[in-house]
Structure 1
Amino acid sequence: MSDYFDRETDGGYTRVYKEHTPDILGAFSAFNNTVFAEEGREIPLKYRELIALAVGVSTQCVYCIEAHTQKAVAAGASEAEVAEAAWVATAIKAGGGFAHGRLAFKLGQTHEH
């Protein structure tokens, strides 16, 4: 996916959303701004940005990884915290593989058991 990532020009494609679905884009932007508001949330911004970074690592979204890493650092996250957030995502993603592997055993059972 990163082969398609071009921070110089990709933002220009937002015009399609603006042209065809401005109401949805506006609602999404308002929602996103509320989620990442500096004040008024129980979880401090630094930690919300680290959560977003971990989700970006898990979903392998280069845009999210770039944006939320930069925002986490701007909110005070250290390099060690960024590393740990990436490892948390890695552990959870690997855990999903482990758990779903068990599902394969369940679904592969014959009726003899």
Structure 2
Amino acid sequence: MTETVRIDAYVLDVLMRDLVGHDHAPSAYLLYLWLWARTEGGLRRHAASLSTLAAETGLSKSSIQNAVRHLRDRRQLIEVTRDGPTSAPIYEVLTPWRRLAARNTGTVRD
């Protein structure tokens, strides 16, 4: 990927410390960054198999499975859906800190 991807300061300043330091889940952080780039910071969704995620990130398939579970179930930082039983999972990056910031400044648009 040669295009520039803008990363929220929260992802670097807070989320890295939370996932890597506190949760001891560096693979989850790496996967989140990879998905962030592919979804343009949560602006779109991205379909990819576990094998593709493993190959693209350099992590093992079991590390990817654990990272997906951590990001989806424990941290609620991604949503995973499928179009059908044999289709690749579709990943959506969630950015709950944006919603909280908007709520705190009174600019929530629901």
Give the TM-score normalised by the residue count of structure 1. Answer: 0.30
Rg (Cα) greater in structure: 1
Give the TM-score normalised by the residue count of structure 2. Answer: 0.30
More helix by share: 1
Using CA pairs under 8 Å that are at least 6 residues apart, name the structure with larger relative contact order, 1 or 2: 2
More strand by share: 2
